[in-house]
Structure formats: C-alpha cells, structure tokens
Amino acid sequence: MKPGKFKVNNDGDSLSATITVQPSLALKISLYLLNILLIAVIILFTIGGVGVIVLFILAFEILFIRYSIWHIYGAETITLKKDALSYQQFYGFFKLSLKTRKINKTLRVIPFHEDFRAGSDAMKLIFESFDESNEPVNLYQTALVVSKQDYQVFMKSFKQLY
C-alpha cells in the first residue's frame, strides 16, 4: 500500500494527525466493477430462486463493500494529549466511534516497516506506553502507512508536545 495523504496539526496542548487513503484510479475502477458484478449476481440468483447461494454471496458482498469503502475513502485521525491518545477511523460517510487510551508514563512512537521491498519507505506508526506494572503496551497501530518524510514531520511536532 502506498503512503496516504498526511496532515499534522499541533495547537500546543494536543497533536492531531490525519492519514487519508490515496487510491489509484485502477484500484477505484476495479473495486467499483467488482461490487457492481457481485450485486448483479445477487440480483440474478434472487430472480432465479437460488436462495442459499444468495445468502453467502450477500454476506461476502457486505464485507467487500466495507473493504472497498475503506480502500477508496478511508481515513484515520490520531490525537495525542499529555495523558491520552485518541483515535478514530472514517469510512467515507461512516465514522467509527472515538476510542481513547490512557498514557501512564511516557509515550513512544515506533516506525514499523510492513513492506520490505527495496525502495519502499512506507511505514505504520505504533504508539507504545507502559502499564501500571511498567510493562510496555501497544496503545494503537495505524492502519494506513505514512512516508518517511511524513514520519519525520510528525516526530518533530511530537517532540514539541512531549
């Protein structure tokens, strides 16, 4: 996956970062066509009276629509404050609930290279803190990847906050 569009906002008390999917035209077209094809198959099988297969294809289509919406319109926002990390994912028109995790002592941001191909600088961000027994805990890992340059911009703002 190529790095998404990245935006950082530092207002002094909190740091907010938004990563938005940047799909290629080919990906958009293929996802739209596959969804249209699956919907057409569901309609044809419903008309033909093959009900059991329609249920399986309908269940698959629901999952595939969610996958398609994420890969075309997906975005995630991470907000850091001194004592809490909040994150929320957006599926185009749908927002998932805002989740907040408490930061006990310190917060570390760890770059995680998921793609080890030559020349790939895309990475996910892992936000790690410590629990009450001083054990490291992953608070959140981004679903979308960022570029090395975006990571450096984020870390500059992160160091100003922490």
- Coil vs helix vs strand at 67: helix
- With beta carbons less than 8 A apart as the criterion, state whether 154 and 8 touch: yes
Tens digit of pLDDT for each residue in 43-90?
Answer: 998 888 877 888 899 999 999 999 999 999 999 999 999 889 999 999
Q: What is the pTM of this model?
A: 0.82
pLDDT of residue 133: 86
Sequence spans of domains, the chain: 1-162
Q: List the end-to-end C-alpha distance of the chain, in Å, as a whole number.
A: 30
